[in-house]
Amino acid sequence: MISKRINLYDEYKLQKVNPETMEILRKYRVDMSMRNLSPTTITAYETDLKGWFIYVLDNQENRSVRNLTDDDITEFLYLCKCEGNNSERLRRRLSSIGAFYKFMRKKKLIVENPTEFIDRPKRGVHIIMQTFLTPEQVALMRERLISADNLQLRTYAMLSLSTMGRVGAIASIRWDQIDLDGKVIKGVREKEGKIVDLFFSDEVKYLLVQLKLQREGRNQNDYGWVFFSGRNKQKPICRSTLCSWCKRIGNMIGVPTLHPHDFRHSGATLLKNAGMALEDVSVLLSHESTDVTKKYYIKEDTGRISSIKRLYNI
């Protein structure tokens, strides 16, 4: 299938792109020239990157590329997919962005390359950008996690699904932020330093209590973090660890591409299809408007729509 051409470039908007981003691009251009890449190759990379920068300008608060996450990049690629890019074109976009982040990591401008957390499928296989867990898959996940007897993993999965928090927010939750009676995690820092509250279910409340008791019984020092690994416990758990947890959970339920962000839009879709108003779902996701919520986070219940249509016999 021929990929639909998407025109993201806008010279006027490019002048407004985050100055730090443009300065890094300038240095990257020099680096590519020093490596004797052909002018055609350099132009191709720059075109992909500039189109992405303009998307960030329009949709992601014009943040510096140093502050973007794999979730942010996934949203951009998903837009391109919706607009008609085929899998090969999406793979090239991801390759361009990934190479740019490799340069930044080499220059010690970032600690982790966020594109490393976006699955690269084999050639000829479509990039799976989003997984919307069904109620049946959630039930299976719950069952398999109970059988796995890993309380931290189970708590992570159910809390992520229930709160719909971004992966960075989930990673940095501390015990002193949790109000068990109110079933709320207070003062969570999200994008651009925005402070939000995350709300969780009775099931998650039970799991948090059990996790706390388990650590106390084992005399484990988690340094105040709800989720921690055996590495540096004085810092939040790293995103790569959460990604590996997701892969483990995904393999349990036959969804090997499961990604931390999938819990976020799965939770949103489950709430919407259960009857919650789109406006309320949007508030829980901390979105500025319902447009982003509806376009990227909600998968309509086609079975319900089909049943309604049959009533009209047309």
Q: Mean of the pLDDT values across residues 32-39?
A: 87
Please state which of the four CATH numbers 1.10.357.140, 1.20.120.80, 1.10.760.10, 1.10.150.130 is assigned to the domain occupying 11-117: 1.10.150.130
pLDDT digits (tens, 9 = 90+) for 248-303: 999 999 998 888 889 998 999 999 999 999 899 998 888 878 887 777 677 766 66
Total-model pTM? 0.64
Q: Kindly tell me if the per-residue pLDDT of 21 is higher than 80.
A: yes
Q: Mean of the pLDDT values across residues 59-76?
A: 90
CA distance 191 to 172: 13
Among 117, 97, 111, residue whose Cα is nearest residue 241: 117
Q: Kindly tell me if the per-residue pLDDT of 127 is higher than 60.
A: no
Predicted confidence band of residue 1 (pLDDT cuts 50, 70, 90)? very low
Please report how the helices 70-82 and 39-59 are oriented relative to each other, as an axis angle in degrees rounded to 10. 100
* Whether the domain at 11-117 and the domain at 135-305 fall into the same CATH topology: no
CA distance 53 to 73: 11
Q: Mean of the pLDDT values across residues 183-190?
A: 90
Higher pLDDT, 298 or 61: 61
- 135-305: CATH topology is hpI Integrase; Chain A (1.10.443)
pLDDT digits (tens, 9 = 90+) for 73-87: 988 887 787 676 777
Higher pLDDT, 40 or 110: 110
- Amino acid 2: pLDDT: 47
As a whole number, the mean pLDDT across the chain is: 86
Sketch the domain layout of the chain as residue ranges: 11-117, 135-305
- Amino acid 200: pLDDT: 96
Among 128, 130, 126, residue whose Cα is nearest residue 87: 126
